Chain A
Amino acid sequence: MINTQIAVIGGGPAGLRAAVAAAQLGAQVLLLDESDHLGGQLIKQTHKFFGSQQQFAGSRGIAIAKKLEAAARSQENIAILQEATVLGIYEDGVLLAEHKGRVIKVRAQRIIVAVGACERMLAFPNNDLPGVYGAGAVQTLMNVHGVRPGRRVLMVGAGNIGLIVTYQLLQAGVEVAAIVEAAPTIGGYLVHAAKVRRAGVPIYTSHTIKEAHGEEAVEGATIWQLDANRQPVAGTERHFAVDVICLAVGLSPLSDLLWQAGCQMKYVPELGGTVAVRDAHLCTSNPRIYVAGDVAGVEEASSAMVEGQLAGLSAALSLGLGGKEAQEQLAEAKAQLSALRAGPVGEKIRAGLAWVEKGVTADA
């Protein structure tokens, strides 16, 4: 049994920031991540990030991951356990993890869940053929391991992920035949859309994939148009000879651990799926358990970092650590979050949060 004050599950931007914030207030922290790297999604992101200087805007995701990792490693009171998959959280604050073939137990006074999100699938004929890959898989293969996913790709989804992965494919020397998007407008940032457009990649809005073709692997794809009621229009089919179909149709919070732990959960489409109900300090219905990052609602690395900081600070404060300064940092983190979410792209998040924030600490 390992004893610690705060256990952080997940070493992405949210978890790393949470660990550092709590450790700086003097907490003994154990950070667990199931992969063999720290940084979560960031290690695949070759593009420069939005946000402000506090969230390292203008730096590439890979560089931000290195900075966050270095900050965590430089804190003596943070222990890091990699290749450790957390399997369950129990009533007495004990969590079980699989670590290199062995099961380990951790007893923690507070647990911060920052496990991120997983990709959604899309139903269409032959979607099981080799060559139909998730956008995250395409990124992992080409940006982490240096292997091209194929020669010519059809991208499904014009949200930020679809647009960014399209651009990353071009940078890796892979052709992108087209981007299809079921909605009538582009969901991602228009600056990302303009960037791939001027590189010659067409974007078909109000279109979806009809089917994939191929025997042993993807050899082509047919798309068709959708009418105002999102029904396909026969006769509008277009064929593309591609060897990869990349799905970028959204992420869902990885909520399993929170369900299992018995936290009060709520389905909130604006936040990407089922998330834990929590207060403004990211504390769930179980006072020992906090959430931060994409698992609390699919958003961005910038907000994931600030949420991590907020959860780390509030978990440490709840243990009696930190003083007036910590309260000020807490207020500052909240102000940063509201600023990030103030604009039109934050509208959805604001609507979603209205559903899940219990407002237990209404004054804070």
Chain B
Amino acid sequence: MLKSTGIPTVADLAEVLPTEERLAKGPVAIIECFQRIPCNPCATACRQDAIRPFADINDRPQIDWDQCNGCALCVANCPGLAIFVVDMTYSETEALLKLPYELLPLPQPGEVVTALNRAGEPVGKGRVIRVQNPPTFERTAIVHLAVPRELAQEVRNIMVEGETDGTR
């Protein structure tokens, strides 16, 4: 259970995953923020008004998936690094993920990295398509990662070779 392991369960995730129908339409944000905490930058960052303004700052984010265009502004602004964009329309075989990433080294476009699940376990490989790291993101980079479609809701982190050289 999430409160004792730090890993959201299938039931937790069921609450925050968009419908298959919506996923088939294009990129969309998935907000894995399961606890009422005093925090709201996701809502203030979204320019599409997809994340509803918080009545109480402790509210959990409520997203209107039809308004969301998958721009990932909220991904870079969430201090909890709890938001991910998933695009199931990327290709026949691959989905595109936009993941927040704050470790070194940053991967390079074209690089193949190890894809990790929510427990940090390797579940396959991912191809880095693009890395966004403009000053406005204040050093939370967004890694665009192509992964096999069946891993789209599994992969939430990456391990870049050399990243842990000498220490791990």
Binds A, one of B1-9, B15-23, B142-150: B1-9
B79 to chain A, nearest CB (A): 4
Binds A, one of B34-42, B63-71, B85-93, B125-133: B34-42
Neighbouring B residues of A48 by C-beta, 8 Å: 41, 79, 138, 140
Contacts A171-B102, A198-B157 aside, 15 further interface pairs with beta carbons under 8 A come to: A51-B38, A53-B41, A57-B79, A151-B167, A171-B104, A175-B167, A190-B34, A193-B6, A194-B82, A195-B82, A197-B6, A197-B7, A199-B116, A344-B36, A345-B36
What residue of chain A has the Cβ atom nearest to residue B77's Cβ? Answer: A58
- In the complex, the answer to whether B138 meets A198 with C-beta atoms within 8 Å is no
- In the complex, the answer to whether A47 meets B79 with C-beta atoms within 8 Å is yes
Q: Answer yes or no: B111 CB below 8 A from chain A CBs.
A: no
Of B6, B40, B103, the contact of A194 (CB 8 Å cutoff): B6
Neighbouring A residues of B6 by C-beta, 8 Å: 186, 190, 193-194, 196-197, 203
Q: Answer yes or no: A201 CB below 8 A from chain B CBs.
A: yes
What residue of chain A has the Cβ atom nearest to residue B54's Cβ? Answer: A52
Task: Tell me the residues in window 1-58 of chain B with beta carbons closer than 8 Å to chain A beta carbons.
Answer: 2-8, 32-41, 44-45, 56-58
What residue of chain B has the Cβ atom nearest to residue A167's Cβ? Answer: B102
Chain B contacts to A: CB under 8 angstroms: 2-8, 32-41, 44-45, 56-58, 77-82, 102-104, 116-121, 138-140, 156-157, 159, 164, 166-168
- In the complex, the answer to whether A205 meets B4 with C-beta atoms within 8 Å is yes
Asked whether A302 and B118 contact (CB < 8 A) given A47-B79, A184-B4, A197-B6, the answer is no
Q: Answer yes or no: A327 CB below 8 A from chain B CBs.
A: no
- In the complex, the answer to whether A50 meets B80 with C-beta atoms within 8 Å is yes
- In the complex, the answer to whether B164 meets A175 with C-beta atoms within 8 Å is yes
Total contacting residues, chain A, CB less than 8 A: 48
A60 to B78, CA, bound (A): 11
A12 to chain B, nearest CB (A): 19
Q: Answer yes or no: A346 CB below 8 A from chain B CBs.
A: yes
What residue of chain B has the Cβ atom nearest to residue A50's Cβ? Answer: B39
Neighbouring A residues of B32 by C-beta, 8 Å: 191, 194
Q: Pick from B6, B34, B104, B138 the residue with the most CB of A within 10 Å.
A: B6
A60 to B137, CA, bound (A): 11
The 3 closest A-B pairs by CB, nearest first: A343-B58, A191-B80, A200-B120
Of B4, B45, B120, B164, the contact of A185 (CB 8 Å cutoff): B4
Q: Answer yes or no: A329 CB below 8 A from chain B CBs.
A: no
- In the complex, the answer to whether B79 meets A342 with C-beta atoms within 8 Å is no
- In the complex, the answer to whether A195 meets B81 with C-beta atoms within 8 Å is yes
Q: Answer yes or no: A240 CB below 8 A from chain B CBs.
A: no
Task: Tell me the residues in window 186-215 of chain A with beta carbons closer than 8 Å to chain B beta carbons.
Answer: 186, 189-201, 203, 205-206
- In the complex, the answer to whether A192 meets B138 with C-beta atoms within 8 Å is no
A170 to B57, CA, bound (A): 30
B83 to chain A, nearest CB (A): 10
Asked whether A185 and B38 contact (CB < 8 A) given A58-B77, A191-B82, A197-B119, the answer is no
- In the complex, the answer to whether A57 meets B40 with C-beta atoms within 8 Å is yes
A48 to B139, CA, bound (A): 10
- In the complex, the answer to whether A346 meets B58 with C-beta atoms within 8 Å is yes
1/0 per residue, CB under 8 A from B, across A168-192: the answer is 0011011100000000111001111
Q: Answer yes or no: A118 CB below 8 A from chain B CBs.
A: no
Of B5, B58, B157, B167, the contact of A199 (CB 8 Å cutoff): B157
- In the complex, the answer to whether B57 meets A189 with C-beta atoms within 8 Å is no
Q: Answer yes or no: A63 CB below 8 A from chain B CBs.
A: yes
- In the complex, the answer to whether B119 meets A51 with C-beta atoms within 8 Å is no
Q: Answer yes or no: A59 CB below 8 A from chain B CBs.
A: yes
Q: Answer yes or no: A49 CB below 8 A from chain B CBs.
A: yes
A240 to chain B, nearest CB (A): 14
Neighbouring B residues of A152 by C-beta, 8 Å: 167
Of B40, B82, B117, B120, the contact of A52 (CB 8 Å cutoff): B40
Asked whether A343 and B34 contact (CB < 8 A) given A60-B138, A190-B2, the answer is no
What residue of chain A has the Cβ atom nearest to residue B3's Cβ? Answer: A185
B5 to chain A, nearest CB (A): 6
- In the complex, the answer to whether B80 meets A343 with C-beta atoms within 8 Å is no
Neighbouring B residues of A360 by C-beta, 8 Å: none
A129 to B81, CA, bound (A): 35
What residue of chain B has the Cβ atom nearest to residue A300's Cβ? Answer: B38
Q: Answer yes or no: A257 CB below 8 A from chain B CBs.
A: no
What residue of chain B has the Cβ atom nearest to residue A152's Cβ? Answer: B167
Q: Answer yes or no: A25 CB below 8 A from chain B CBs.
A: no
Neighbouring B residues of A49 by C-beta, 8 Å: 79
- In the complex, the answer to whether A58 meets B57 with C-beta atoms within 8 Å is no
What residue of chain A has the Cβ atom nearest to residue B76's Cβ? Answer: A58
Q: Answer yes or no: A340 CB below 8 A from chain B CBs.
A: yes
Neighbouring B residues of A190 by C-beta, 8 Å: 2-3, 6, 34-35
